A and B are shown apart, each in its own frame.
Chain A
Amino acid sequence: MNTKHLPLIVAIALPIIFIIALALILIVPSSRIKPQFDFVYTDQSEEYNRNYYEIEYKNKYDIKEGKLTLTPIPSRFSTRVDKTGIEYKEAPTLYYYDVIENTSREVSFADMQNETFDAGPSSPDGYQVDHDYNSRGVFELFGSDSNSGYYISKGRGKKLLTGISSPYYGGDTIKVIGWIK
């Protein structure tokens, strides 16, 4: 075998093999992300609202015996000292996430009364939803497009939930209430 061009061939092949290996390790598990269970969530956590916005919720959502329920929040949990100008609401806005269509829509508490839920935090098929700063690029260079947002993940694979937008920088403000069985 003629080996005189071997260093050149290896020099070119090595980065290509590295990229292919990374793709197999990182992209393939993500392509296998196929969640089956939809979930409901609120767009901001009760704790965050109570401490930083002039909104206080009287109730929060819970899953009891597989059903969506409203549980009153005791007012003493509020850390706000100045109580003036606070808007009181029954409960946070509820959203339904369709994992197949990758879309989100607002729903009412009444709409969800016939559904059976799994409280989680993981879905019955092992998926969970987290916020991630999936900033693409190297050393913050070579492309500044960022994929920060909410991801549904299982093991090493994850998929961006395009139906949920990040409400603010640094936000971990959605709260998954339960997975619909």
Chain B
Amino acid sequence: MDKTQILSLVQEKIKEGIITSDDLQKVMHEEQESKQAHVTKNITNIFYIIGALIILIGAVILTVQNWDDIGFIGRVLVTFGISLATYLPSLFLRDSINRILSQVLFLVSAILAPIGIVVLFSEFDMNFGSLEQTLSAAALCLIFSIAFFYTKRNILVIISMFFATWGYYALLGHLFSMTSDLTKLATMIFGVSYILLARYYQDRLTAVDSAERKERRSVENILYGIGTIGILAPAIFIGGIFDLLAIALIFAAFYASVFVKSKAMLIFAAIFLITYVIKITSDYFVNSVGWPLALIVIGFLIIGIGYGTLYLNRRYLTNKA
């Protein structure tokens, strides 16, 4: 229904006496109030974020400048203390009005907690090696995952996944002598995990309001985006049989982006298809056709990929709420 149709419908209802001018004024007034409230909320959220940044910068400067003066207790309080002081209240700020505040506080807590661990290891002259990193990352992942299951705050998914990723690589580094190809394979496996998690997250959780829905879409896109990069980037650069497998994975990403309705996945699939075309051309065709002709072909292919991506986005993804 377009604007003209809506206006004629409203006009018809006014004629019939179902809608009065008072009703229209009331709707207009409510809309204005809602806009004002939204602006106020946005300003408050900006203050929360600026406040969090100031806390972090302050904590870092305080620790670095006064490392010797503040002593062991001071160093632990500035890092672990603030981390705990921001984590605990955030657990209890569960109503929707405090959604941004609690997430900002969780973020402050998540940034300061690993710094606190490093400070603690340094205080006791202990090596913060791969095993210690694995255990620290696992503990932090568990702590923030518990907070997620309790509060359902979206930022906690990203934070937990960050610590899980850290723990995963630290454990691999501790257990094995990781060659470049093994690292790429490990990254691809974790990329799959990211995508599955994004899918689970997309299916399972329902948003309270439109702002939260938008937030969840962002988290989904971040997970899908990291997952896509994690799978496609190593696949392109492993070489050998993966030169063939990579193209299948790239087109699988295009298909999956429509299936799961993820713009991030679509964009990264397009970027990696362009990268793949350039890589394969330089690896296999430059010597036979020469760079000038190769560049012309690459140029046309990139235009084609760009157009195809835009088409997929318009055709399948832009209508997504």
Binding site for B on A (CB under 8 A): 4-5, 7-8, 10-12, 14-15, 18-19, 22-23, 26-27, 134-139, 141-145, 147
Cβ B183 vs Cβ A143 within 8 A: no
- Would you mind naming 7 contact pairs between A and B with Cβ atoms under 8 Å apart? A11-B197, A14-B189, A15-B190, A22-B172, A136-B178, A138-B186, A145-B130
- The reply to whether B133 and A15 contact each other, CB–CB distance below 8 Å, is no
Q: Mark B116-149, 1 if CB is under 8 A from A, else 0.
A: 0000000000010111010000000000000000
Main secondary structure of the interface of B (DSSP, over half): helix
Q: Which residues in B have their C-beta under 8 angstroms from that of A14?
A: 189, 192-193, 196
Question: Which of A7, A15, A135, A147 is in CB contact (< 8 Å) with B199?
Answer: A7
8 extra interchain contacts, Cβ-Cβ under 8 A, other than A8-B197, A23-B176, A138-B186? A10-B196, A11-B196, A15-B186, A18-B185, A137-B130, A142-B169, A143-B173, A143-B174
Given contacts A138-B186, A142-B130, contact A19 B172 (CB under 8 A): yes
Task: Check if A4 sits within 8 Å of B204, measured CB to CB.
Answer: yes
List of B residues within 8 angstroms of A26 by Cβ: 176-177
B168 within 8 A of A: yes
Q: How far is the CA of A27 from the CA of B175 in the complex (A)?
A: 9
User: A5-B200, A15-B189 are contacts. A138–B169 as well, Cβ < 8 Å?
Assistant: yes
Q: Which of A23, A134, A135, A141 contacts B169 (CB 8 A)?
A: A141
Contacts of A11 in B (CB 8 A): 192-194, 196-197, 200
Interface pair B197/A136, CB less than 8 Å apart: no
Q: B129 to A145, Cβ gap below 8 A?
A: yes
Binary contact readout B44-64 vs A (1 if CB under 8 angstroms, 0 otherwise): 000000000000000000000
Taking CB atoms, residues of chain B closer than 8 Å to A8 are 196-197, 200
Q: Which residue of chain B has the shortest Cβ distance to A132 in the bound complex?
A: B177
Measured between alpha carbons, how far is A143 from B169 in the docked complex, in Å?
9
> Given contacts A11-B200, A15-B189, are A139 and B129 in contact (CB under 8 A)?
no
Given the known inter-chain contacts A18-B186, A145-B129, please indicate yes or no for A7 contacting B197, CB distance below 8 A.
yes
B200 and A138 within 8 A (CB): no
Are A141 and B193 in contact, CB atoms less than 8 angstroms apart?
no
A134 to B177, CA, bound (A): 6
In the bound complex, CA of A7 to CA of B186 (Å):
19
Are the CB atoms of A15 and B193 closer together than 8 Å? yes
CB of B186 within 8 A of CB of A143, answer no
Which residues of B sit under 8 angstroms from A145, Cβ to Cβ?
127, 129-130
Q: What's the Cα separation between A46 and B130 when bound, in Å?
A: 38
> Shortest CB–CB separation between residue A46 and chain B, in angstroms?
31
Contact between A12 and B173, CB atoms less than 8 A apart: no
> Are A143 and B182 touching (Cβ within 8 A)?
no
CB of B255 within 8 A of chain A? Answer: no
| C-alpha spacing A8/B174, complex, angstroms | 26
Residue B182 contacts which of A4, A5, A22, A27 (CB distance < 8 angstroms)? A22
CA–CA, A144 and B174, complex, Å: 9
CA distance in complex: A22, B169 (Å): 13
A19 touching B175, Cβ below 8 Å: yes
| B170 is an interface residue with CB less than 8 A from chain A | yes
Q: Judge whether B162 is part of the interface by a CB distance below 8 angstroms.
A: no
A142 near B193 (CB under 8 angstroms)? no
Q: Which residues of B lie under 8 Å from residue A19 when comparing CB positions?
A: 171-172, 175
